[in-house]
Amino acid sequence: MGRARRRRRQKKARKFCVCDYNPEIILLNRWLSKNGIRKNEKVGLAIFDDTGRGVLTKKKIKPGEELLNLPLNLTINVTTILMDLPFCNIFLENQKQCLLEYKHSISFQSMMAFYLVYLKVQDVNSTWGVYMKSLPLEYTVPYFLPNEIKCFIDADILSVISKQKDVIDLSYNIFVTVLKSNISADSSVQSLKKMFTKSDYEWAYFTVNTRCVYMDLTKVIDLSNIGNSILNLISDNTKISLCPYLDMINHSPNARNEAQLIVSKDIENIKVRDLNRDMLADVRFSIYTKNNFNPYSEVFICYGDSHNLKLITEYGFFLPNNDLDYVSFTFEDVKTFLNSSKFKLSQEQLSFISSHGLNKDLYIDIRGLSYNFYGFLMVVKYYYNHGKDVSKLLYSAAICSTDNSLNDIIAPMVVQKLVTIKESVNKLNVCESKCVILDNCVELMCQYVRILENFIKC
Ligand SMILES: C[S@@+](CC[C@H](N)C(=O)[O-])C[C@H]1O[C@@H](n2cnc3c(N)ncnc32)[C@H](O)[C@@H]1O
């Protein structure tokens, strides 16, 4: 191929539009530089046809290269919240004894979301104003689907939405109550009191959900000695952080990367009450890649091995040909089906199933039955077969599972599920309110159809 043709072909393959010259991104880059970011000079921001906004490299990146290095003070993490005294005073200057009343009642993700809303209502010229402006305005997670569409969405997706809703509602109500009884005179707290809405909180919750990275600061701050701090409110760990620019990098399951905290030796176990920005000025967070990235290609990191149900419901996107996808069946549903078939389960069989944990993780993926589902069906078929020892069979099933006759036991239930999903997909396909969220849900349901059809064929 001639050089000109090759260049033309490369040009055609470039499905992105550089956005480093957008006024908002210019401001962001300026702000990041001023605050000490060290960014691989080959990278910039771009909008990609398939993945949306992301990071582009203009030159080859090799394994071992650092992508980004941020001062800790340029990330939003547990220390940022603890050092923001007006924010902490929302809970501490209060008619209620918040630390007692809501002890261990709030997840750190919810607290981060509340903090984001507090930052959002502040002036654009405030410390985090430029960063706040760089965040997406909305998220494509099914949580935001209108109710009239939800009735045709797969039960597994609905179950995740329902759990998200419970967490969001519960924490939102606590924050509303706390704000009502707050007595702080601080102007940013006053603004938050006036402007705290459910929709802003939902936006913030999913900002944290879709953009946070894992950051373990337990060696830097002494979290065992939390005194009267708002850490008393937290029900889980505080190991997540929002990292400007790093949170612009999209996910690929094939990406390999590592992050590390770079701490000088004399910074260790700082007491919560002693925390200050100067002390943390030398702590940095660095991320490097273990991949090769070609010139003018998108740079990815891996958010963790994830099936599409998680990617769609937590991050709002779908990956085609994802081998990690599976269709799950509840123990109750399988039991009800078997009881209506010739394979009724005895009390003895049920006890055996439960005591061996075979009532959990019942699913079918592109390879067939999950180990537990296979073992469960062995109990169904061979428990009363005197020639076979079910415990031994289970042990051998862990090594090799080739008994295809087990599939036949549940085939009618699988066919029924397949029909139900297909009917829902047909209804969703004629829906007028088309959007990315709906497309992702339909993609996942079609993936479920492929998995179940493959199972029935085998
Ligand atoms: C950490 S942010 C990455 C930057 C983001 N694209 C932005 O514009 O700010 C994570 C979000 O990016 C999007 N995303 C990440 N990886 C993706 C992929 N492989 N395909 C499509 N969207 C992706 C999803 O919306 C996800 O919630």
Is 54 a pocket residue for ligand 1 (Cβ < 6 Å)?
yes
Of 289, 315, 341, which residue sits at a domain end? 315
Q: Could you report the per-residue pLDDT of 257-273, keeping only the tens digit for each?
A: 999 999 977 888 899 88
What average pLDDT does range 156-182 have in this prediction?
A: 97
What's phi and psi for 183, nearest 5 deg? -120, 15
> Same structural domain for residues 385 and 310?
no
How far is ligand 1, taken at its centre, from the CA of residue 251, in Å?
7
Of 288, 315, 342, which residue sits at a domain end? 315
* Predicted confidence (pLDDT) at residue 187 exceeds the cutoff of 70: yes
Q: Name the residue with the closest Cα to ligand 1, atom 6.
A: 53
> Same structural domain for residues 420 and 391?
yes
> Same structural domain for residues 311 and 335?
no
- pLDDT at position 12 is 52
Q: Cα separation of 164 and 146, whole Å?
A: 15
What is the band of 11 on the pLDDT scale with cuts at 50, 70, 90? Answer: low
The pick from 203, 311, 317 for probing ligand 1's pocket by mutation, whose C-beta has the most ligand atoms within 8 angstroms, reads: 317
For 198-241, strand residue ranges (E) read: 213-214, 221-222, 240-241
Is 284 a pocket residue for ligand 1 (Cβ < 6 Å)?
no
Q: Could you report the per-residue pLDDT of 388-400, keeping only the tens digit for each?
A: 777 777 777 666 6
Instruction: Give the number of the atom of ligand 1 that is nearest the alpha carbon of residue 249.
Output: 3
* Predicted confidence (pLDDT) at residue 177 exceeds the cutoff of 70: yes
- pLDDT at position 224 is 82
Residue 395 lies in a domain: yes
* Predicted confidence (pLDDT) at residue 3 exceeds the cutoff of 80: no
* Predicted confidence (pLDDT) at residue 5 exceeds the cutoff of 70: no
Q: Which two tokens stand for residue 300?
A: 């990815």
What average pLDDT does range 134-138 have in this prediction?
A: 96
Residue 288 lies in a domain: yes
> Same structural domain for residues 420 and 281?
no
Is 93 a pocket residue for ligand 1 (Cβ < 6 Å)?
no
Residue 439 lies in a domain: yes
> Same structural domain for residues 286 and 355?
no
Could you tell me the residue range of the domain that residue 412 belongs to?
326-457
Of 267, 286, 315, which residue sits at a domain end? 315
Residue 399 lies in a domain: yes
> Same structural domain for residues 308 and 363?
no
Is 310 a pocket residue for ligand 1 (Cβ < 6 Å)?
no
> Same structural domain for residues 290 and 377?
no
> Measured between alpha carbons, how far is residue 218 from residues 198, 240, 267, 425 in Å?
32, 12, 12, 47
> Same structural domain for residues 207 and 352?
no
Percent of the chain with pLDDT over 90: 81
Is 51 a pocket residue for ligand 1 (Cβ < 6 Å)?
yes
> Same structural domain for residues 311 and 194?
yes
- pLDDT at position 405 is 86
> Same structural domain for residues 254 and 384?
no
Is 136 a pocket residue for ligand 1 (Cβ < 6 Å)?
yes
Pairing status of strand 297-301 against strand 326-328: unpaired
Number of domains the chain is built from: 2
Percent of the chain with pLDDT over 70: 95
Q: Could you report the per-residue pLDDT of 45-93, keeping only the tens digit for each?
A: 999 999 999 999 999 999 999 999 999 999 999 999 999 999 999 999 9
Residue 311, domain CATH:
3.90.1410.10
Is 25 a pocket residue for ligand 1 (Cβ < 6 Å)?
no
Residue 38 lies in a domain: no
Residue 49 lies in a domain: no
What average pLDDT does range 318-335 have in this prediction?
A: 96
> Same structural domain for residues 310 and 344?
no
* Predicted confidence (pLDDT) at residue 349 exceeds the cutoff of 90: yes
How far is ligand 1, taken at its centre, from the CA of residue 116, in Å?
19
Mean pLDDT of the chain: 92
Q: What pTM was computed for the model?
A: 0.92
> Same structural domain for residues 278 and 404?
no
CA R_g for the chain: 26
Least confident interval from 35-39, 359-363, 400-404: 400-404
What is the band of 113 on the pLDDT scale with cuts at 50, 70, 90? Answer: very high
Residue 259 lies in a domain: yes
